[in-house]
Amino acid sequence: MKRLLLGLVGGLLVTGATTYAHHSFAATYVVDKEIKIEGNMVSFMFRNPHSFVHVEAPDDNGQVQRWAIEWAAAGQLTGITRDTLKAGDHVIITGNPGRTAEDHRIRMRSIFRPKDGFKWSGDFQ
C-alpha cells in the first residue's frame, strides 16, 4: 500500500513539474510589439519543444548581435526539415521582442530567405 501511495505521489510530482515547465510567451516576449531583423544565419536547431534560429544581425544601434529566435516545435513546422536553413543563409525575421532587450531574443512570427524566396509565417503555441 505504501509503494502504491509513493508511486502516485511521485507520478503527480513529475506531471506537475512538466506542466509548470512550459512557459507563457507573454511572460518572455512583448506579444503586442513586433520587430524585424536582417542578417546571416549562425545555426538552426530543429527540435522539441521549440526550435531555435540564431542569427547575427545589427541591433537598433547598428552593432551586430547574435539573436536567439524561438520558433515552433519540430513537429509543428510542416514542410521544414533540419536541412531547410543553413549557416550563412541571409534571412529577414519578424517577431515579438524579448522583454529584456539585452538578451536579443525574438519569438518568430515570420522568416524570409531572399536568395530563393523561401518564407514561413504562422502562429504556434
- What pLDDT digit, counting tens, does each position of 29-88 carry? 999 999 999 999 999 999 999 999 999 999 989 999 999 999 999 999 989 999 999 999
**Does the predicted TM-score (pTM) go above 0.95?**
no
Mean pLDDT of the chain: 86
- DSSP of 52-101: EEEEEEE-TTS-EEEEEEE---GGG-TT--TTSS-TT-EEEEEEEEBSSG
Share of the chain above pLDDT 70, in %: 79
C-alpha cell at 85: 536553413
- Show the CA angle centred on residue 79, arms to residues 76 and 81, nearest 5°: 85
Q: How far apart are CA 26 and CA 30, in angstroms?
A: 6
Give the per-residue pLDDT at 25.
75
Q: Based on the number of CB atoms within 10 Å of its own CB, is 61 exposed (0-12), middle (13-18) or buried (19 or more)?
A: exposed
User: Higher model confidence: residue 61 or residue 14?
Assistant: 61
All structural domains of the chain:
24-121 (2.40.50.140)
